[in-house]
Amino acid sequence: MHAALTRAAGQHQGRRLKTAALLILAAGLTFGLIGPLEAAQEPTLSSNDVTSSIKPLGTDHELHVEATRPGNESLTLGARLKADGGLIRRPISWTVRHSLAGATGDVVWHGDEPVAELPLQPGDYVIEAAYGTAKVYQPVSVTPGQRLAMTFILNVGGIRPLSRIEAVGYPSAMPATHAIFAVSGPNAGKEVAKDVKQGQIVRVVAGRYRVESRFIGGNTVTDAEVTVKPGILTSIEISHIAAFAQVSIPDPDGSEAQWHIHQVDGAWQRSGHGTDFALVLAPGSYKVDADVAGHTLSASFTLKASETRHVTLRQ
């Protein structure tokens, strides 16, 4: 467990609020993503192996080769999260294509399974493996009288974001959403995952990432950075410097209420319908107006950080 700092901002104001504490819980799980991996059967060949285990220079996979009769050529595919980890037992998206000089060939086979075994005619191919946001490509040549078994080393870990209000906790009525951006590696600066829900596990290549957090409908944005290691699931808790406001609109006739809320000293605003709604809001002053059966109800209020406020509109 370690701490870092986050920053919060009014979504439409473009200004940052003061930093908040970040709690990162690194759970040492060798995961596919959760649970033991030994249950998946490793791509193995018989005692007729002609090369035992080969680790080609500059690649992240192991290759085993076995002699077989011509016409019995095949390819077995599997993957690990890290070099010394067990086989992944969750589905992996495999695609095998013909390899053409300077071009992508036709798809020969596609499947979603932890370990795939398929017959292949001798020739040149490109293997594509996708697991979470991680994607790898590897050329392979099948020669007459050979069976191949390839085990990819994906170097994948996981991020599990959880957003909360500082000193308040997790508002169950308000879902949060997260976007994940790569800070290091070939995808640095790019968004690798979006619309990530509370507690959702996202599988990513090991490296450094920035997690951006928003409560749906609110006006706070907070982000934090996290380092992901192969085979490790990292839970990141992000605290918003914000308040929780629950608004009630009296409606004795049962008619539909149309409401509008805006920040008095900023540009943020939101509209909706119904007699009750809740929002996670940045500290500041707000005004709510509602049209109920031709009558206008309103309320003005000021929120402080870590405050929970119930607001009822009056005529």
Instruction: Give pLDDT tens digits for 31-81.
Output: 444 333 233 445 544 433 333 333 443 358 999 999 999 999 999 999 999
pLDDT digits (tens, 9 = 90+) for 155-204: 999 999 999 999 999 988 789 999 999 999 999 999 999 999 999 999 99
The reply to whether domains 61-153 and 243-312 share a CATH topology is yes
- The total number of residues shown for the chain amounts to 315
Nearest to 79 by CA among 139, 26, 31, 19: 31
> What's 255's DSSP letter?
P
φ, ψ for residue 109, nearest 5 deg? -160, 145
pLDDT at residue 293 in the model:
85
* Residue boundaries of the structural domains of the chain: 2-32+157-240, 61-153, 243-312
Q: Is 38 helix (H, G, I), strand (E, B) or coil?
A: coil
Average pLDDT, the chain: 84
Instruction: Locate 15 and state its tokens.
Output: 């200004």
Look at residue 30 and tell me whether its pLDDT is greater than 50: no
- From the number of C-beta atoms within 10 Å of its C-beta (0-12, 13-18, 19+), residue 246 rates as middle
Separation between Cα atoms, residue 87 and residue 75, nearest integer Å: 17
Cα atoms in the Cβ-side hemisphere of radius 13 Å centred on 315:
7
Contacts of 190 (CB under 8 A, 6+ apart): 181, 182
Residue 98's Cβ-count burial label (10 Å; 0-12, 13-18, 19+) is middle
pLDDT in tens, 231-288: 999 999 999 999 999 999 998 777 789 999 999 998 999 999 999 999 999 999 999 9
Check whether 130 has a pLDDT greater than 50. yes
Domain 243-312 is classified in which CATH homologous superfamily?
Carboxypeptidase-like, regulatory domain (2.60.40.1120)
Task: Look at residue 222 and tell me whether its pLDDT is greater than 50.
Answer: yes
Q: pLDDT-derived band of residue 294, with 50, 70 and 90 as boundaries?
A: confident
Residue 18 scores a pLDDT above 90: no
Report how far residue 212's alpha carbon sits from residue 44's, in angstroms, rounded to the nearest whole number: 42
pLDDT on residue 256: 82
Q: In what order do the strands lie in the sheet with 103-113?
A: 103-113, 92-100, 123-131, 134-142
Report the alpha-carbon distance of residue 308 to residue 3 in Å, rounded: 25
Q: What pLDDT score was predicted for residue 229?
A: 97
Distance set, CA 264 to CA 151, 218, 242 (Å):
59, 15, 16
User: Across residues 90-119, what is the average pLDDT?
Assistant: 91
pLDDT tops 90 at residue 146:
yes
The dotted CATH code for 2-32+157-240 is 2.60.40
Superfamily (CATH) of domain 61-153: Immunoglobulins (2.60.40.10)
Q: Which residue has the higher pLDDT, 215 or 22?
A: 215
pLDDT at position 103: 64
Which pLDDT value is given to residue 198?
95
Q: Give the pLDDT score at 245.
A: 96
Confidence tier at 92 by pLDDT (50, 70, 90)? very high
Which residue in 161, 255, 250 sits closest to 209, CA to CA?
161
